[in-house]
Amino acid sequence: MKKKRQILLLQIRILQMASEKFKLSLADTARLFKKYKVLPYIRQLFYVFCFEGDKAIIADLKKYLKMKGATI
């Protein structure tokens, strides 16, 4: 599988996981991701996120979003 497709699948997986953990709809989570540029962030950390567990990924996203000024 090509790297671009792997990144896209990881972004979708993290979007769904964040929606569930943050108790937001997929649409609201997508808006949050767009506003705070989370998808490019996931792309940058692709290899890191491939080896981290779900809890670590969510913890990292929360830290990133708070650093950007988001309230979750």
Q: d(Cα 69, Cα 47) in Å, to the nearest integer?
A: 25
Instruction: Report residue 1's pLDDT band, with 50, 70 and 90 as the boundaries.
Output: confident
Which of left, alpha, beta for 8 (phi over 0: left; psi -120 to 50: alpha)?
alpha
Q: Single out the residue of 4, 30, 9 nearest to residue 18, CA to CA.
A: 30
pLDDT per position as a tens digit, 9-66: 999 999 999 999 999 999 999 999 999 999 999 999 999 999 999 999 999 999 999 9
Amino acid at 30: A
Q: How far apart are CA 46 and CA 71, in angstroms?
A: 24
Is the pTM above the cut of 0.95? no
